[in-house]
Structure 1
Amino acid sequence: MNTVEWSDALLLDYEPMDTVHREFVDLLAAAQNASDAALPQTWAAVVAHTVRHFGHEDEWMQRTGFASADNHIMQHRVVLNLLREGLAMAQAGQMDPVREMAGELAAWFAKHTQTLDAALALHMRREPPPVATVHRPRGGRGAHASPG
C-alpha cells in the first residue's frame, strides 16, 4: 500500500496551501495507521478536512479566474465523492476497501500536489492578496456608533 508522508517534494512555496497540505498528510497518515475500530472516525476527519481544503482552493480559483479551474475543481469533486463513499464503507465495517482507498489517495495526492496544485500555487503567488472589506454603518459617519 502507498503510504503518505510529508516531504519537501510537496512544498509549493505558498503558505496557505502548504499548511493545509501538511494537515491533510497528517490526517491521512492517522487514517492509514488507525485500528479498524478507529478507522471510521479518522476517515471522517479526512473527509471533513478535505471539504474545507478543496473548498478554499475552489474559491481561490473562481475568485482569481484561474485558467485550469474547471479541470482542477472537477478532480476535487470526484475525489471528495469517493472519500464520502469510503466513509460510508468504514461506517458499515468494510475496512479493507477503505484502507485500499487510503493508499490510492496518498498516491493521487502526491501527483495532484506536484501538478495541478503547483500551478495554482504559482498563480496565487502572482495574485495580489485579497483586500479586507471594512463595513461602515449606514449614513457614512465612520465606524463609531453612538451610545444608545
Structure 2
Amino acid sequence: MTTLQWSEDMGVEMAQMDATHQECVALLQAVQGADDARLMAAWERLLAHTEAHFAEEDRWMQATRFAAGNCHSQQHQQVLNIMRDGTERARKGRLVELRLMAAELAVWLPQHIDAMDAGLAHHLRQVGYDPATGHIAHPEALPHEPLQGWGGASGLGEGDAPVAGQVAGCSDKKMGCNA
C-alpha cells in the first residue's frame, strides 16, 4: 500500500485550505502507519479532523452561494458516512476494513482536492472571501443563483470531475446532482 504524501501540486492557492489538506494527509499517514493497537485512535483523529474540515468548507460554500445540495457537499456527507460506518465496523474488531478505507481515502483525497476543492478555492478568490472573517470583498462577483454541480465556478461540468471507488461516488443518479 502506498502512503499518500503531500506535494505542492495538491495546493489550491488558498493558505487555509492548503493547511487543512496538509493536516489531513498527515493524519491519514498516521492511520496508514498505525499498528492494530493504535489504529482506532489514529482513525478517530482523522475522522474528527474530516468532520471539522468538511463542515468548514460547507460553511464557505453556503456563505458564497454554492447550493446547499451541491455535489461537493454531498460528497462530503457520503465520505463521512462511510468513515463513520468504518468506525463502527472497527469497534467490532474489523480493523482490516479501516485499513482498506484509508487506502481508498489516499486515492480519493488528491482527486477531490483537484476536482472540487480547487474549484471552490477559485470561486472563493473570485468573490474575495476571507475564511477567517467571512468577509466577501467582491459581493458583486457572487452568483445570482446558488451554484450547482461539481465545483461551481471552476468551470467543471457534469461528468468532468474524476472520482475514485466507493468513497467518492457522486453522480447525478446516486447523489441527486444536476443532470
Q: If the TM-score is normalised by the length of the shorter chain, which range does it land in?
A: 0.7 to 0.9
Matched, 1:35 2:35: yes
1:92 aligns with 2:88: no
| Contact preservation (8 Å) 2:62, 2:68 | no
Distance 1:70 1:101, change over 3 A: same
Q: Distance in 2 between matches of 1:2 and 1:54?
A: 24
Q: Deviations over 1:10-50 (max 9, x none)?
A: 11110110010011000000000000011011000010000
Which position in structure 2 is the counterpart of 1:122?
Answer: 122
Amino acid at match of 1:28: L
Larger Cα Rg: Structure 1 or Structure 2? 1
TM normalised by structure 1 equals 0.84
Alpha-carbon displacement from aligned partner over 1:84-138 (angstroms, at most 9, x marks no partner) = 111112222211111011000110101000110010011111223333xxxxxxx
For 1:101, the equivalent position in structure 2 comes to: 101
- The residue identity in structure 1 corresponding to 2:108 is W
RMSD (CA atoms): 1.7
RCO higher in structure (CA 8 A, sep ≥6)? 1
Which has the larger displacement, 65-74 or 47-56?
A: 65-74
**What SS does the corresponding residue of 1:38 show, helix, strand or coil?**
helix
Mapped to 1, the partners of 2:78 and 2:67 lie a distance apart of 19
Q: Does 1:9 align with 2:9?
A: yes
Identify unmatched segments of 5+ residues in structure 2.
136-179
Ranges in structure 1 where 5+ consecutive residues have no aligned partner: 132-148
Q: Which amino acid aligns with 1:30?
A: A
Counterpart code for 2:15: E
Distance between the aligned counterparts of 1:27 and 1:66, measured in 2? 28
| Distance (whole Å) between structure 2 residues aligned to residue 84 and residue 2 of structure 1 | 23
Q: CA deviation at 1:69?
A: 6.2
Distance (Å, rounded) in 2 between the aligned partners of 1:125 and 1:24: 22
Query: What is the aligned partner in structure 2 of residue 55 from structure 1?
Result: 55
Taking only the aligned residue pairs, the percentage that are identical comes to: 42
Distance 1:68 1:12, change over 3 A: farther
How far apart in 2 are the matches of 1:36 and 1:126? Answer: 45
Residue identity opposite 1:108 in structure 2: W
Corresponding pairs, count? 132
